[in-house]
Amino acid sequence: MVDKPQAVRQNQNGFDDMAKCGTVEKNMGWKTLTEAEIWCNSAGGLSYFRFFPYPAMSRRSSPLKGIKLDACASIGVAPRVALVPECGRSFYLRAMKRGIVMNSPVISAIQASEDAVILLDQRELPGRVEYLTCTRGEDVIEAIRELAVRGAPAIGIAAAYGLWLFVKRESGSADFWKHVDKAVAALKGSRPTAVNLAWALDMVRDQMAGLTPPEAVETCRNFADMLLAQDIEINRRIGERGASLFESVSSILTHCNTGALATGGYGTALGVIRSLHHAGRLREVLVDETRPLLQGARLTAWELEQEHIPARLITDSMAGAVMAQNMVDGVIVGADRIAVNGDTANKIGTYTLAVLASYHHLPFYIAAPLSTFDPSSHTGADIPIELRAESEVRGFRGAISAPEGFPVYNPAFDVTPAALITAFITEHGVIRPPFAENILGLLAKTP
């Protein structure tokens, strides 16, 4: 942990700032070539902030020099601080002006420059930290489809940025709006189950209606920036509300990856776990490896390791055994789409966990923002389930685990019936049964 700075002052914009760069450098230091951190004042008191530099900068042979500190404000959220290397590219200045450098998302999976969307390539984790620089909307579609970026909230944010790349390129076309609608359709088709993707695209398309092409480009970019900024705050509220459900020190089992990698930052189900850890009420996390692509083993375990949160990895088939041995106090997972009756589509294997939790009389919680609730899906039967390549099950990263050509059934998601769910943890409150009535009621009251 770094020391708290000695001098803090208010800058001319009213945001908190360090008194001078010397104080920053003395108290901050560089933990690695890819990370800087600092203490500063915010509306909520003294807070811990992190900033992850642009990937090209992280490959420098020595720590970056000449850090300067500037304050910025995100759209619709509290003031925050941006650390901006003087030798940085325009990305840093844009991030500072637009307020897209977040307060302590431990991993920054989605960033944007003046001309590109920068995505942490989650296919390479945990072995390598690699970034994709997407300069075309088609690049974002491929990244979503191939799971370089994944997780329902993160997909929605990435899709909004992808649309911005499309409309920016076509802003001089006579058929501008035809290209816009074609791009929206292509982005929606990249992952059909995650409702956040369609929700984000429909919302920004509505905001662009009636504008000139240049105005539409700017509106699309502003919306994507806002979506990224707000997702952090939404996740923190989900984390706080979820942590309040566990009064004593608890062990939590989770599935797939629902952390900063799957969202704008912090996480949904993993955000609850983070909040429990920060409150001192987390004994340990039991992490399902999550077959067939091992998102739990590769991504969730990696995130927890970055923050030194106590955790152990288990195979999916061990879940019943650890519950029977009283090693679990509750199960918290995320969601890709929630029907109005409470039926929930999530990563394959979630339904199995819900059945096991019910048998062992353990609470089974879904942590998700309201944007994951789909008013057009009345029950789970209305949710489309994506079928993925057979090769994902027959092997992994070149290692063959089944006979070549052996038939495979590979749905990416399953649907957990509402009757097996204890409650939904959202940014606006905890939803308990009767779900159909309470979900519709909360959606009706929320703009």
> 258 with 367: CB under 8 angstroms?
yes
pLDDT at 303 over 50: yes
> 367 with 259: CB under 8 angstroms?
no
pLDDT at 133 over 90: yes
Q: How far apart are CA 242 and CA 423, in angstroms?
A: 10
pLDDT at 76 over 70: no
pLDDT at 84 over 50: no
Q: How far apart are CA 272 and CA 234, in angstroms?
A: 12
Q: How far apart are CA 129 and CA 123, in angstroms?
A: 10
Pairing of strands 30-32, 16-18: unpaired
Q: How far apart are CA 104 and CA 90, in angstroms?
A: 22
Q: How far apart are CA 48 and CA 402, in angstroms?
A: 47
User: What would the pLDDT profile of 163-192 be if each residue is shown by its tens digit?
Assistant: 999 999 999 999 999 999 999 999 999 998
pLDDT attached to residue 113: 87
Quote the percentage of the chain above a pLDDT of 70.
76
Q: How far apart are CA 2 and CA 10, in angstroms?
A: 22
Superfamily of domain 235-383+410-445: Translation initiation factor eif-2b; domain 2 (3.40.50.10470)
pTM here is: 0.75
Residues 6+ apart with CB under 8 A from 243: 272, 275, 276, 279, 281
CA dihedral 156, 157, 158, 163 (to 10 degrees): 90
User: What would the pLDDT profile of 114-128 be if each residue is shown by its tens digit?
Assistant: 899 999 999 999 998
Our answer to whether residue 336 is catalytic in this structure is yes
DSSP state of 102: -
SS3 sequence of 239-258: HHHHHCCCCCCEEEEECCCC
In this structure, the chain runs to a length of: 447
Q: Which residue has tokens 């199960």? A: 331
User: What would the pLDDT profile of 138-157 be if each residue is shown by its tens digit?
Assistant: 999 999 999 999 988 999 99
Measured N-to-C along each axis, helices 176-188 and 152-169 cross at an angle, to the nearest 10 degrees, of: 160
pLDDT attached to residue 107: 67
> 224 with 160: CB under 8 angstroms?
yes
Q: How far apart are CA 312 and CA 297, in angstroms?
A: 10
Give the 3-state secondary structure of residue 289. Answer: coil
Using omega within 30 degrees of 0 as the cis cutoff, is the peptide bond preceding 126 cis? yes
Encoded tokens for 436: 């159909």
Q: Which of 288, 336, 343, 374 is catalytic?
A: 336
Higher-confidence residue of 258 and 37: namely 258
Span 21-46, mean pLDDT? 29
Measured over all CA atoms, what is the biggest interatomic distance in the chain, rounded to whole angstroms?
A: 67
Q: How far apart are CA 52 and CA 45, in angstroms?
A: 22
pLDDT attached to residue 264: 87
pLDDT attached to residue 372: 95
Of 85-99, 110-124, 266-280, 289-303, where does mean pLDDT reach its minimum? 85-99
Q: Residues of 102-136 as b/e, b for ≥16 C-beta within 10 angstroms?
A: bbbbbbbbbbbbeebbbbbbbbebeeeeebbebee
User: What would the pLDDT profile of 305-358 be if each residue is shown by its tens digit?
Assistant: 988 999 999 999 999 999 999 999 999 999 999 999 999 999 999 999 999 999
Q: Which residue has tokens 């955790």? A: 311
Give the 3-state secondary structure of residue 274. Answer: helix
Residues 6+ apart with CB under 8 A from 278: none
Give the 3-state secondary structure of residue 399. Answer: strand
Q: Specify which residues 72 forms β-bridges with.
A: 80
User: What would the pLDDT profile of 190-199 be if each residue is shown by its tens digit?
Assistant: 998 888 899 9
pLDDT attached to residue 38: 33
CA angle 289, 265, 95 (to 5 degrees): 145
> For all residues of the chain together, what is the average pLDDT?
79
Residue ranges covered by each domain of the chain: 1-104, 235-383+410-445
